[in-house]
Amino acid sequence: MAPNLRPSEAFRCGSFLISTYVESLVPGCSGGCNPVPFLCRAVFPLELARIMQPSEIVLIGVFLSGITTFLLRSGRREQGLPPGPPTVPVLGNTHLLGDGKDLHLRITQWASTYGDIFSLKLSSRTMIVLSSATAIKEVVDKKGWAGSSRPGNYIAEICGTGADSNLLFATDGPRLKNLRRTLARFFSVQNAPRYMPTQAAESTILLHDLMVHPQDFFESIRRYTYSLTKIMTYGRRAPSFADDDVQQFYSSVDELSHVLAPGVYPLFDIFPLFQYLPVPSSAPWRVLAHRVKTLRAGLHTNMCDSVRCGLTAGNEQSAECFIGTVLRSDVPEREHHFYSYTGIALLDAGSDPTAAFLLSLVLVLAVYPECQMRAWKEIDELVGATHLPTPADLAGLPYIRALIKETLRFRPQFPMGVHHLMTDETTYKGHHVPKGSIVVLNTYGIFHDPDVFEDPWIFNPERFLKSEHGTRPGRDANFRDNLIFGGGRRVCPGQSVGRSTMELTAMRLIWGLKFSGARDPVTGAFISRELDCYSSDLIMMPRSFICTMEPRSSEHRDVVLQALGEARLYLNRFEGN
Ligand code: HEM
């Protein structure tokens, strides 16, 4: 229950709201250093009192007390909701989210205090955090579509990538269901092997890039995952990271993640009133949002046009890719934008999550040389140095399978999933989960729960050799292999393709390269701090880190060089017009 409003708290809440708004209008103001919010807080009420008549002040007082009564109720945790951190009036727990940095760690800490279901009050909105596989199964998976809508995202709307265009933000409804069916067919388990020749050829190019330009490994890996997704979606590849579309796409992704991060823009979705306040077009987040909108609209138009041209010219790749399938289908005219913009959603959803895994893998191989050596031993015995590993080899590589699973457990790409929205109420462990609540799938917390995983903070692939899910014996019968891919009806439609890319590429990187992490010049110890250097936006991605890599032997390098010609020849079909 919220305590009564004390003057100090009222002042804090008011200041928070006003400063959030004002800070968003002032270029370069994102911290406490800017004097404007403080001036606003101090001068604004005094100034008003000076220029108004007493009757106006009374009227405003009545109006404000009505609003205050409404707002005071809005921060409270209603009876029956799961427990959670104490609330303050108006804000509820909003102030605890801060700038969103490392929120997954705070959420995981709260889960250890309040249990596998707890609630946060974001003013009048309720957020339910689920931190066990059982909770996800009961609240999301079993509820079907009623547990799988999405909360609105005003800032994404402004960026032209909201519910009406982008599948990722789309709310429950017939057109989403139709689109999901189309995606399910396109990326089905049966269809996934179709992409294997592309994955094999592109991963050969990646190995070669890493051998020749090891210092550019971030760019090489991001090009690789973008190119794979672009081929499936638009029937065209991206030969170089310097290509215009690659540059535009990644600038838009980086800027979109930034503008969507809490703290950069006013809390429009929590305090919808902000949506009606005047905002100058020079406000920093508006400038950013406008740039993102322009970049993505340009990409969308160019890419769709190139598929249209390909279809007219009878190009096979254009006909077979996702957008080609959509353009050739009888999608009603009014749904065309939503369906075709799915191309951009696929680029978003397919490129960086896969890159995040590969970068995490490089990082752990570099700083856990004992794991790298054990993986080499295993792959050398099975595959040898005379040819590249193929998907069929994975079955004979239990340690490498465990290493992949442990990397995904240790650094899941979506540490807090992607928010779901309940369109119906439900209960779990006697707690009420109301209709309209936002649901967080706390994947990071689940994978770092010491009751379920022994020493969860330690990187230890062996745990997956002892039990299928790496859990303590008998813990959490509801654990499923695809928790990293979300849940309910929104579970990742690209999971088969995503998994096969991660597995094939992991085998090939381990097979062909030696990774070494940076060491402290005095102690000689690995700078393990780098393991904590992750971006804290929606996707958990290592920031730049120092790592050297080289071919394991001249034999390995020669095998890659020999395979290169065939890979380029195969990929030729995805180049040109
Ligand atoms: C490889 C690593 C990947 C991971 C870890 C991953 C994970 C996820 C997660 C957690 C979600 C949200 C699910 C939810 O709301 O509960 C998601 C959604 C989605 N993913 Fe993936 N994904 C990956 C790769 C891919 C690939 C390769 C594609 C397609 C090319 C793809 C396409 C999508 C799409 C379209 C959605 C939105 C679904 C919706 O909102 O209905 N993903 N993914």
Mutation choice for ligand 1 from 175, 351, 441, 485, CB with most ligand atoms inside 8 A = 485
- The pLDDT assigned to 399 comes to 98
**Ligand 1, closest atom to CA 180?**
41
The pLDDT assigned to 486 comes to 97
What tens digit of pLDDT does each residue of 388-438 get?
A: 999 999 999 999 999 999 999 999 999 999 999 999 999 999 999 999 999
Atom 25 of ligand 1: nearest residue by CA position: 350
Residue 21 in contact with ligand 1 by CB distance below 6 A: no
488 alpha carbon, distance to own chain's centre: 17
pLDDT confidence of residue 276: 82
Atom of ligand 1 nearest to the CA of 501: 1
Closest CA to 500 of 191, 240, 168: 191
Q: How many CA atoms lie within 13 A of 432 on its CB side?
A: 9
Ligand 1, residue 441: give the atom nearest the CA.
Answer: 16
pLDDT recorded at residue 46? 55
Q: Mean pLDDT, consecutive 10-residue segments, the chain of 577 residues? A: 50 57 49 39 52 72 70 83 96 86 91 98 94 97 96 88 88 91 94 95 98 97 98 97 95 84 69 80 84 92 95 95 93 86 94 97 95 98 97 98 98 94 97 97 97 96 95 85 96 97 98 92 80 81 91 98 98 88
What is the residue whose two structure tokens read 């009545």?
62
Cβ burial, residue 437 (10 Å; 0-12/13-18/19+): buried
Residues whose CB is less than 8 angstroms from the CB of residue 566 and which lie 6 or more positions away in sequence, other chains included: 201, 204
**Burial class, 391, CB count within 10 angstroms (exposed 0-12 / middle 13-18 / buried 19+):** middle
- pLDDT tens string 133-186: 999 999 999 999 999 999 988 888 888 888 888 899 999 888 999 999 999 999
343 lines ligand 1 (CB under 6 A): no
- pLDDT of 211 reads 98
Ligand 1 lined by 226 (C-beta under 6 Å): no
On whether ipTM exceeds 0.85, the answer is yes
- Cβ–ligand 1 distance for 292 under 6 Å, the answer no
Q: If you take atom 6 of ligand 1, which residue's CA is the nearest one?
A: 485
Other Cβ atoms within 10 Å of 254 Cβ, number: 14
Instruction: Mark the binding-site residues for heme, compressed into ranges.
Output: 492
Q: Is 7 helix (H, G, I), strand (E, B) or coil?
A: helix
Six-digit token string for 77: 């945790």
171 close to ligand 1 (CB < 6 Angstrom): no
SS3 category, 504: helix
The protein residue whose alpha carbon is closest to atom 21 in ligand 1 is 492
Q: Ligand 1 centroid to 448 CA: how many Å?
A: 22
